[in-house]
Amino acid sequence: MKKLLVLGVGNILMMDEGIGVHAVHELLKDDWPEEMDLIDGGTFTQDIFYLFVEYEKILVLDVVRGGKEPGTIYRLTENDLRQNQKQTLSLHDIDLLDSLSMTRMAGKTPALHVLGIEPETINWNMELTPTLARLFPDYVELARQEIRILLKNDI
């Protein structure tokens, strides 16, 4: 069983919606230990749960609509996603929770962590908005820090 899966999700055809995928591709340029994997999850559906059973922890990079200023960073756990009724769940969040439920039925319990960022615009275009494009290097650096923490700790 590997320690960490870093999963970038989103639709790169929908502006800020694709930031998680863009971030994973940037992180793939770095050297990482063998105990983790980075995967472009795109607009995955529930059937990705088969991957989850192979990991102790999962870090998802994605947009999160929390109603705050574009570029706001969110650090969420599975409990946050399940308990916060005011949180606007994206289809990705719902699929993540369904995938985790299926993983538990298979007898595995990976810990879910989400590093989200508030989008400015989700519309047809392959470019990030200027706001998120400006913040993208900082978001990727935060992802690197989260990865290091998750690899080091038994969270």
Cα separation, 30 vs 16, whole angstroms: 23
The DSSP-derived string for 102-138 is HHHHTT--PEEEEEEE--S--SSBSSPPHHHHHHHHH
> Higher model confidence: residue 153 or residue 55?
55
Average pLDDT in the 53-61 region?
Answer: 93
pTM of the model: 0.90
Q: Which two tokens stand for residue 85?
A: 């009724």
Range of the domain at 84: 2-152
CATH number at residue 110: 3.40.50.1450
Q: Do 7 and 96 form a contact (C-beta atoms < 8 A)?
A: no
> Which amino acid is it at 141?
E
Confidence (pLDDT) at 91: 47
19-27 vs 130-152: helix crossing angle, rounded to 10: 50
Reply yes or no on whether the pLDDT at 94 is more than 60.
Answer: no
Cα separation, 134 vs 128, whole angstroms: 9
Q: How many domains does the chain have?
A: 1
> Higher model confidence: residue 155 or residue 127?
127
Q: Do 16 and 121 form a contact (C-beta atoms < 8 A)?
A: yes
Q: Say if strands 36-42 and 2-9 run parallel, antiparallel, or are unpaired.
A: parallel
Could you give the 3-state DSSP secondary structure of residue 5?
A: strand
